[in-house]
Structure 1
Amino acid sequence: MTTERREPAQNADERTMLEGWLDYHRQTLAVKCQDLTDEQLRTASVPPSELSLMGLVRHMAEVERNWFRRVLTGDDPGPIHYSKEDPDGEFHLTEADTWQDAHDGWQTEIGIARRNAAGFGLDELSAGRSRHSGEPFSLRWIYTHMIEEYARHNGHADLIRERIDGVTGD
């Protein structure tokens, strides 16, 4: 699977800009995973950490599901990879876990996220509420948070990828 990253528009309206940056960071994570074997994608960064590229992709599928389904629309299909018994399950990989499954699940959640967000205005408030303040979130806040979440994890992905095969990049 080859992913091309598209630079976000430099003079677009706010929504197009936010969606462009979110897609750019989604594409960046996919690029960091390109041309690696399942074994390499399951390789943990540095013991005792279990952080791996495949784990990051599975984590981001959970994050997409949480923010664009549970929080934004109130739909709660449950977790994909974690449970109460294993709250970090997305990072607990076995040899049975494949890139194809991780990638397909992630892309499914991205597709649902796009469809759900398309039905909301930037200032429209979510069905779900903050567990801290009790307040709902605007779609603008969710987009901004998701850009931050991907950007942070893409930094992790840079370091993991460099450790695996020396590949670096932006």
Structure 2
Amino acid sequence: MAKESLMKAVKDYIRTIPDFPHEGIMFRDVTTLFGDPRGLRLAVDQMLHPYAGRRIDKVVGLEARGFILGGAIAHQLGLGFVPVRKKGKLPAATIGERYTLEYGEAEVEIHDDAIQPGESVLLVDDLLATGGTAEAGIKLIERLGGQIASCAFLVDLPELGGRKKLEGMGMEVFTLCEFEGL
């Protein structure tokens, strides 16, 4: 095995696709990271490391790539996993939260019995851009009485202001890497 492959950082496994989904956007594609066993292990290990030994009761993953990371982190920490999904995708009673996108609005939901009052929750997703989806997830967790221990992301796009938004809400934010530009 080449020494350089042992030295790869999480960021090195993420592919950038120019002009997707439209011109001027540099799409950060984490599927290349997920598809590589070393990259995925590295990302999960680094994302869960700050939380080892902390009181966390549940891991909540945001649709859809947050399910991959959140499920793996929950497994490694020996915790339950809760999905926050797009409206209409969960089978039992839910509560929902609308949020703004650059091109309109969307809504995410959580089962109304997924978080118990007082539970400490780690919120996980792949990418932090404007912070809209994460903010909606936080509001859902808090409406159920959960307390956010931290918000963890693979990638931060600092120019879009998501970290500042979440920190302005009093949230602890952890990211593994940053990419400049949109």
Q: Normalising to structure 2: TM-score of the pair? A: 0.28
As a proportion of its length, which structure holds more strand? 2
